[in-house]
A and B are shown apart, each in its own frame.
Chain A
Amino acid sequence: MMDILKKIAESLMEFEPEDTIALVNEALASGIDAKTVLNEGLIKGMDIVGQLFKTNEIYVPEVTMAAECLQEALVVIKPLLKEEPSDVKVTVVIGTVEGDVHDIGKNLVAVMMEGAGFEVIDIGNNVLAQTFIDAAKEHNADIIACSALLTTTMAVMPEVAALAKNEKFEKDVKVLFGGAPIFEKWALENGADGYAEDASGAVQLVKDLVSRK
């Protein structure tokens, strides 16, 4: 069993989505449950991808292709997943803020989060502050993640945080800021509940914030 799961994890770095899907189907056909395939195969694979990216052993083209393998495999896996009472479901609404059309960083964070097993609602780029709030309400989100590449558009992030603080959500929604021009001090001073330097850090931050709730 471990052998096929290891192959699934490693297949993400082969950049052939069809091969990953074939391995996932093989694992499922052999009787391994979908959750184990997800956690021990695909998520472990994305952990490796995240680490390699963090240490500059791979770059955006490789991560983007690994993400494509993951996303196509998730299409197969997701319908087979059964919710269990012990499951901690984390829902993240993520987008690039108004005035900013850069989405590579946001997409990387989204796929890393998806790879970590979170439910990710990607609301795209050039997103109005109120749209983040509306999406968080609609999807009963735990986290609102705002991305910006431009220093000019950073100004939208405090608007999102302020709207979130004044909104009556069903949950205690946390707001995260990220992107090249953002730094921790500014993020925390402007309403963010957390800041991470990179995509892997963002995943860990969400885990930490959710576990504290």
Chain B
Amino acid sequence: MTAKLPTMTYQERYNALLNKQPTDRIPFFHRGYGFCAKNTGFSIADIYEDPEKSYLAQSRTAEQFHSDGTPFYTFVSYGSWEFGGEIHWPVDRYASGPSVSKRPISKPEELDDLILPDPKTAGCVPKMMEFAKLQEKNNVQIAFICGSPFTHAANLCGVETFMKWMIKKPDAVHKAMRLMTDHIISVAQYFVDTFGEGKVLARSAAPSESNKLISPKHFETFALPYLKELHAKVLEIGVDRIYCHVCGEHNDNLPLWAEVPFGDPGMLSFGHEVSIEDAAKTFPNHIIAGNLDPQIIAKGTPEEVFEGSRKVIEDGMKFAPGRFLFMSGCEIPSNTPGYNIYMMQKAVEEFGWY
């Protein structure tokens, strides 16, 4: 087979995707935050703690694998440190991200004592802003963490406690959701004020709303109203669009997600649990990203990764032509063999041309 050569740079491809213009091939994002650190000789803690090193690790890895993804800042366990909790940096042998060492609250009544933090100094936000200035300097997409409010609110007291409150203390859950939604809006405003309207992408992930944890009914009651409000509000104040990783098993939530605004077009990525066909049909106007099983990437043979990639790419091009981005279904582990990422790249460069 004759290898095709790209006719667009990653920036041209990304812009074309957002502008609903044709691209030479499907965009590809290798994904894997800790992977980027290890791949380039940095520590896992560096990628969360040191924006300069984090940016370098991600941009070098993207260059290596011809990835269209640009560096971004994310923070596992967001919502705890920002409201006065304490975090533990991932310095231990197997740690993959910051973890919460002390929750801001443990009882519903303690919610009354929580106050909205100043977004300029709250938890990881200063590092996220420092990172965003690197994004601006390097002329790549500027982004900030925009939820999900449910996942972040659960980090105030811990997911298990939050789950119990959903049954026994629903008012406390709503109070926590209100607080977290208002906080995220304040962060969005801070970023729009700093970089200008239409310049900033909101990045969000929703693992704790997965149907592995909660029912669609609970999603509708506790998560959906705040998601709709938050997304509408941040778009209104000048955020360009919203990217959301609909993490894990969300099949029963999909019709409800369809009610949430994401911008035009928004971007949604899915885990391997949701088929690209279902995602593309549920969101006919948005960019669909996904969704090779990260287990295959991390533990599969190169042949399995290549074949799995081919299948996902073909589904994406069939069900979301012109608006599909190929990536892992979720974060890949830091110890994923680099050759398996190369297999994803190779599949894109063999099967992903329009």
User: Taking the complex as formed, is B3 at the interface, i.e. its CB lies under 8 A from any CB of chain A?
Assistant: no
A104 to B34, CA, bound (A): 23
Q: Which chain B positions have C-beta within 8 A of A103? A: 160
User: Taking the complex as formed, is A117 at the interface, i.e. its CB lies under 8 A from any CB of chain B?
Assistant: no
* A61 engages B167 (CB within 8 Å): yes
Q: Which chain A positions have C-beta within 8 A of B164? A: 61, 64-65, 68
Q: In the complex, how many angstroms separate the beta carbon of A24 from the nearest chain B beta carbon? A: 20
Q: Which of B109-117, B212-220, B228-236, B278-286 contacts A (4 or more CB under 8 A)?
A: B212-220
* A104 engages B159 (CB within 8 Å): yes
**B126-180 interface with A by 8 A CB criterion:** 159-160, 163-164, 166-168
Q: Which chain A positions have C-beta within 8 A of B166? A: 61
User: Taking the complex as formed, is A99 at the interface, i.e. its CB lies under 8 A from any CB of chain B?
Assistant: yes
* B298 engages A151 (CB within 8 Å): yes
* B160 engages A107 (CB within 8 Å): yes
Q: Which chain A positions have C-beta within 8 A of B159? A: 104
User: Taking the complex as formed, is B335 at the interface, i.e. its CB lies under 8 A from any CB of chain A?
Assistant: yes
Interface digits, B278-302 against A, CB 8 Å rule (1 contact, 0 not)? 0000000000000000110011000
Q: Which of A61, A104, A152, A186 touches B94 (beta carbons < 8 Å)?
A: A152
User: Taking the complex as formed, is A210 at the interface, i.e. its CB lies under 8 A from any CB of chain B?
Assistant: no
Q: Which chain B positions have C-beta within 8 A of A183? A: 295
User: Taking the complex as formed, is B58 at the interface, i.e. its CB lies under 8 A from any CB of chain A?
Assistant: no
User: Taking the complex as formed, is A80 at the interface, i.e. its CB lies under 8 A from any CB of chain B?
Assistant: no
**B17-38 interface with A by 8 A CB criterion:** 34
User: Taking the complex as formed, is B333 at the interface, i.e. its CB lies under 8 A from any CB of chain A?
Assistant: yes
Q: In the complex, how many angstroms separate the beta carbon of A6 from the nearest chain B beta carbon? A: 22
Q: Which chain A positions have C-beta within 8 A of B333? A: 150-152
Given A98-B94, A151-B333, A152-B335, A61:B163 Cβ within 8 A: yes
Given A151-B295, A186-B299, A61:B99 Cβ within 8 A: no
User: Taking the complex as formed, is A47 at the interface, i.e. its CB lies under 8 A from any CB of chain B?
Assistant: no
* A61 engages B218 (CB within 8 Å): yes
A99 to B167, CA, bound (A): 30
**A99-128 interface with B by 8 A CB criterion:** 99-101, 103-104, 107, 126
* B211 engages A59 (CB within 8 Å): yes
Interface centre among A61, A98, A153, A180 (most CB of B within 10 A): A61
Q: Which of B95, B160, B215, B218 touches A99 (beta carbons < 8 Å)?
A: B95
A97 to B218, CA, bound (A): 30
* B295 engages A99 (CB within 8 Å): no
Closest chain B residue, CB of each to CB of A151: B333
Closest chain B residue, CB of each to CB of A61: B163
Q: Which chain B positions have C-beta within 8 A of A156? A: 94
* A59 engages B213 (CB within 8 Å): yes
Q: Which chain B positions have C-beta within 8 A of A65? A: 164, 167-168
A155 to B95, CA, bound (A): 12
A58 to B215, CA, bound (A): 7
Interface digits, B322-334 against A, CB 8 Å rule (1 contact, 0 not)? 0000000000111
**Can you list 17 A-B contacts with CB-CB less than 8 angstroms, sorted by A residue number?**
A56-B211, A59-B215, A60-B160, A60-B213, A60-B214, A61-B167, A62-B167, A64-B160, A64-B164, A65-B164, A65-B167, A99-B96, A103-B160, A152-B94, A152-B95, A153-B94, A183-B295
Q: Interface residues, chain B, CB within 8 Å of chain A?
A: 34, 92-96, 99-100, 159-160, 163-164, 166-168, 211-215, 218, 294-295, 298-299, 332-335
7 more CB-based (< 8 A) A-B contacts, given A98-B94, A101-B100: A59-B218, A60-B214, A61-B213, A65-B167, A99-B95, A107-B160, A152-B96
Top 7 closest pairs, chain A to chain B, by CB: A99-B94, A151-B333, A61-B163, A152-B96, A152-B333, A59-B215, A61-B166
